[in-house]
Amino acid sequence: MILVTGGAGYIGSHTCLELLEAGHEVLVLDNLSNASPEGLRRVERLTGKKVELVEGDLRDGAALERLFGSRRIEAVLHFAGLKSVGESVEQPLRYYDNNVAGTVKLLEAMGRHGVKRLVFSSSATVYGDPSRVPVTEDMPLSAANPYGRTKLIIEDMCREVFRADPSWRIALLRYFNPVGAHASGEIGEDPQGVPNNLMPFALQVAVGRRPVLNVFGGDWPTADGTGVRDYIHVVDLAKGHVAALAKLDALGGCVPLNLGTGRGVSVLELVAGLSRAVGRPVPHQVVARRAGDVASVFADPTRAAQLLGWRAELGLDAMCADSWRWQSQNPNGYAR
Ligand code: NAD
Ligand code: UDP
């Protein structure tokens, strides 16, 4: 079976669904600090298959010991972590403890039990402010905030674990900007509090929970002056994990891979796409730039295509239509 840490969360729950559809058995470890168990119940309903959810913390060595001691785990998909940039600036130690110390515990338990196959949720944030786009995996890495630094440290740790013991097989999946939801509208992103990211904020404006979307900067050196990112449909991303798992042994090492579409989309293009999906304009206004933002980041996804045989298939309209289906069917997320 596959152990999915953080499997109750946004990307994890979509990946559990794709793993089940691909015939894997799935065990989730999640402390539910940023998720509801309802998402996985819906995954079970959609697939007609069971997902075992163990409510527990990555940093609890005894809980990990029980988990690895009692099951035959073939590989680990490691999503569990805190992910808010702003919060990480205010509470850096909480991020180092949860993300870095938690991953140390996980890797120790994996090593002890001879489970040396790992797929890790890294991020395009490890490229900092890239000197050119599209971004390739060999470009320099840097961290602009504590969240990004936890990703960089964990990547470094993985490289060193592999160097010390070359029998490990590790894929470092660098996600660009995940958006969208399962086509059923039954599972999706359910952020707590005020969303930081563009799509969840725009969706809450579209559904009437907030009055207007602030577009951070109209004077970036891009075609329409707004920031450009590589939005990737979460179902494509989930399928990328299934592909990485299938090719993990063939990758033969500790390999970073960009998971993006290769297409840059501006804030205004995304707002226009969402407005089409909703059927009315999403109110927005251009305001000052947000501190720490960069103009344009999008992936060169060639390596993932070559090594995993995977590429993103869903475009902006599907991302917006599926996001909207989830948001309009579940205006308050899982707490309807
Ligand atoms: P999410 O918050 O929805 O999912 C993370 C899950 O991990 C949650 O269910 C949470 O309860 C759980 N968790 C957190 N700390 C834990 C701990 N110590 N022990 C057990 N469970 C714990 O976030 P997501 O968007 O699904 O992101 C998943 C992963 O992908 C994260 O590592 C994130 O940093 C990374 N990532 C996300 C994005 C994005 O934009 N969503 C982009 C790049 C990378
Ligand atoms: N953005 C925006 N308004 C928001 C949130 C984000 O204009 O309320 C812009 C942001 O400046 C960036 C893009 O949308 O150009 C994506 O931001 P997000 O926070 O979603 O992702 P990241 O900055 O991590 O790539």
What number does the ligand 1 atom closest to the CA of 78 have? 32
**Which residues, other chains included, contact 106 with Cβ-Cβ below 8 Å and sequence gap of 6+?**
5, 58, 64, 76, 78
287 near 215, Cβ under 8 Å? yes
Within the chain, what is the greatest distance between any pair of CA atoms? Answer: 56
Ligand 2 pocket test target in 267, 269, 282 with most atoms within 8 Å of CB:
267
User: Does the structure show a pLDDT above 70 at 51?
Assistant: yes
Residue 326 CB partners (closer than 8 Å, separation 6+): 181, 182, 185, 186, 187, 188, 189
Q: Does ligand 1 come within 6 angstroms of the Cβ of 39?
A: no
156 C-alpha to ligand 2 centroid (Å): 27
Annotated catalytic residues are 147
Q: Tell me the CA–centroid distance for residue 9 and ligand 1, in Å.
A: 6
Q: CB-hemisphere CA count at 13 Å for 286?
A: 11
pLDDT digits (tens, 9 = 90+) for 72-115: 999 999 999 999 999 999 999 999 999 999 999 999 999 999 99
The protein residue whose alpha carbon is closest to atom 29 in ligand 1 is: 79
What is the residue-wise DSSP string for 117-133? EEEEEEEGGGG-S-SSS
Q: Yes or no: say if 91 and 142 are a contact pair by the CB < 8 Å rule.
A: no
Q: Is 31 in the pocket of ligand 1 (CB under 6 A)?
A: yes
Q: Write the DSSP string, 203-253.
A: HHHHTTSSS-EEEE-S-SSSTTSS-EE-EEEHHHHHHHHHHHHHHHHHH-S
Q: Is a pLDDT exceeding 90 seen at residue 336?
A: no
Instruction: Judge: domain 2-179+232-260+301-310, CATH 3.20.20.70.
Output: no
- For the stretch 258-279, pLDDT in tens is 999 999 999 999 999 999 999 9
Residue 292: predicted pLDDT: 87
Task: Please work out whether the CB of residue 148 comes within 6 Å of at least one atom of ligand 1.
Answer: no
Is the CB–ligand 2 distance for residue 231 below 6 Å?
no
Query: Domain spans of the chain?
Result: 2-179+232-260+301-310
What is the mean pLDDT of the segment spanning 27-39? 97
User: How confident is the model at residue 335, as a pLDDT?
Assistant: 85
Spacing, Cα 53 to ligand 2 middle (Å) = 32
pLDDT beyond 80 at 246: yes
For 193-221, write each residue's pLDDT tens digit.
Answer: 999 999 999 999 999 999 999 999 999 99
Each residue's pLDDT tens digit, 118-177: 999 999 999 999 999 999 999 999 999 999 999 999 999 999 999 999 999 999 999 999
Residue nearest to atom 14 of ligand 2 (CA): 198
pTM above 0.95, yes or no: yes
Burial 187-214 (b: 16+ CB within 10 A, else e): bbbbbeeebebbbbbbbbbbbeebeebe
Q: How far apart are CA 287 and CA 285, in angstroms?
A: 6
* Residue whose CA is at the smallest distance from ligand 1 atom 13: 80
281 pLDDT tier (thresholds 50, 70, 90): very high
Ligand 2 centroid to 116 CA: how many Å?
Answer: 36
> What tokens does 129 get?
């402010």
Tens digit of each residue's pLDDT (9 = 90 or more) over 56-68: 999 999 999 999 9
Q: Cβ distance 69 to 113 under 8 Å?
A: yes
For 195-199, which contacts have Cβ atoms below 8 Å and span 24 or more sequence positions? 196/84, 196/85, 196/86, 198/229, 198/267, 198/270, 199/231, 199/270, 199/274, 199/319, 199/323
